[in-house]
Structure 1
Amino acid sequence: MLSRRRMLGLAVTQRSVTAVEVATAKGAAKVLRAAQFVFPEEAGFEEPDRLGRALREFLHEGGFSASRCVIGMEAARLTAREKRLPPGSGNAVAQILSVAVEREFASDRKELVFDYASGAGEDGTPSVLLMAAPRRHVDRLVAMAEGAGLTVSAVTSSTMALAESANGMLLAERLVLHVFQGGVELAARSRGGPLMVWRLSVSPPAEPDGGRPAAETWLDELAHELRRILYMQVGDSAA
């Protein structure tokens, strides 16, 4: 029997966690189970240990057995900025980004956690996507997972992780639209790596019984927001 390594993905929103358990063997991945954990009314991020215990019970009842997890955050919790790198940056990337962090986040950098992902712009220019998240929120997410008996392997953007999962596509560049209860996010990715992630200002209808007019109105608003973002990106690329 093939040895399978299991990993649990936790996509966290304001009041829920979507849990997906994946097993990998010889480079192939298989989804074993998936379920949504809705926060108890009496528990929230302010009490991560209590929330973790409730999540642990939920995972046990659902048959989840992975002990390691990757936590996905909403883009609303992130600040993402693309940084073009000078030619020949090489091993100096960390130093360049350290200077950028000092310059752009000087007032609150101690309250933030930073990370970056390497990529390339449309013209092939080396670039990185610099991301910052509130340290307190990241600490609470980790505490919640540890309270559920899990070992945290990484904390990332849920939508960027979805875009990464499409890495085998042949398209040079692609957009991934992530629609979930309470929000809509968009990620842009090239063959070289991630380009950007956005939280859109529109949300899907809270209730599915709003009828066709409500759905059409929301789709019109979504299309308008997508056009706005794409127009801004074209303008930035031409600048």
Structure 2
Amino acid sequence: MTVAKTRVVGLDIGTSAVRAAEIEFGSGGPGASRATLHRFAEITLPVGAVRDGEVVETSTVAGALRQLWQKGGFSSKKVNIGVGNQRVIVRDLELPWMPLAAIRKTLPFQAQELLPVAVDSALLDFYPTGESVNETGRVAQGLFVAAVRETVTQNVLACEAAGLTPEIVDLNAFALTRALVQQDLAQRTVGIVEIGARITTIVIVSQGKPRLVRYLAQGGDNITDGVASALRTTQVEAERLKREIGIGHGFNPELAPAAQSITHVSTTLVEAVRGTLGYFAQSNPQTPVETLILAGGAVMLPGLGQFVASATRLPVALGSPLQHLDVARTATDARAVDSRIALPVGLAYGVAS
């Protein structure tokens, strides 16, 4: 008997690059059996084409997506895409229990007090995290998600201009959870810190469910900017020197201004992470974060992991979505970019959400 299989493509439209991963799921979809990564590819974007997680130059991004499909040889033009920046609001919400479809219908009424923009200017969703019973009866607990419609629309238009068809628009934070929090981690309380070029995503996950999401308008390119300014050099040279200097390593005294800048910018970022952990701990004293998982291209900065561990006093591990996947021969190059593949992999897993 032939086992039915499904292939799904997750597409990450980032600030510095577009990336896609094609995953094959066995009969029953994600979770029913071990999935296989068949293809992965990435194409660098010019500066300014995507700003703060939102497509600015549609034709440029569409061109990069066409190159991506040519390079990757993906079997489908149907994609799952993500959204995640400071124009996305994620907040706890508790409502009288009702079926999820009914809850989603009530969101426009709930959103009026939660949104800084008009309700019809936003896309709304509810992610259930649990339920309980209080003096008023059964209640549903979850995360209220609102994304400014324009943010989503611009990314969808870029896909369509490249001949792609977005099937699902997902929250990046949820995608990261699916890709990185599996097996034993799904039984614990963990924090994901994905540091991209200009946006850092923080997700606190307890028992496999996201409980807190925060987006920071800061990432690896901000560190590069600081090095370029300190040494009055180009972005390309600053990027090279940033990786050469790192954090907490020895360096040529002539590079001291750059090293100080790296430490300063990194400290600002890590303090924001620590503040988020502290907020969660105050609200959830029974389930403190036990470990941090780092992901994203910027986490490869030498010494950053140790710096985060020291500042937060938590164990820190590099997220590896590939450890939960079989990797076909057509995708072996993906092993070299493991820290950058979590988001497209998690978006592909969204077929089950």
Higher mean alpha-carbon deviation, 38-47 vs 150-159, is at 38-47
Contact kept in structure 2, 1:71 and 1:154, CA below 8 Å: yes
- Give the gaps of 5 or more residues in structure 2: 28-32, 225-238, 248-258, 286-353
Partner of 1:234: 281
- Cα shift at 1:131: 1.2
1:113 and 2:114 matched:
no
- Cα shift at 1:55: 1.1
Say how many residue pairs are matched: 237
More RCO (CA 8 Å, sep 6+): 2
Contact kept in structure 1, 2:79 and 2:167, CA below 8 Å: yes
Partner of 2:25: 24
Partner of 1:98: 108
User: What RMSD, in angstroms, separates the aligned Cα atoms of the two structures?
Assistant: 3.2
**Structure 1: how far apart are the matches of 2:133 and 2:212?**
16
**Structure 1: how far apart are the matches of 2:71 and 2:46?**
16
**1:195-234 C-alpha deviation (Å, 9 max, x unpaired):** 1211235423332522134455555444322221111223
1:9 and 2:56 matched:
no
1:209 to 235, 241, 244: 241
Structure 1 residues 102, 216: closer, same or farther in 2, change over 3 A? closer
Identity of aligned residues (%): 22
Matched AA of 2:42: Q
Partner of 1:58: 68
- Cα shift at 1:17: 1.6
SS in 1 for 2:41: strand
SS in 2 for 1:146: helix
- Give the gaps of 5 or more residues in structure 1: none
- Cα shift at 1:152: 1.2
Q: Which has the larger helix fraction?
A: 2
TM-score by length of 2: 0.58
Q: Which has the larger strand fraction?
A: 1
Alignment of 1:45-194 (within 5 A): 45-48=55-58, 51-86=61-96, 88-90=97-99, 93-94=103-104, 96-105=106-115, 107-120=117-130, 126-165=140-179, 166-168=181-183, 169-191=185-207, 193-194=209-210
* The structure with more radius of gyration: 2
Contact kept in structure 2, 1:118 and 1:192, CA below 8 Å: no
SS in 1 for 2:246: helix
Matched AA of 1:102: Q
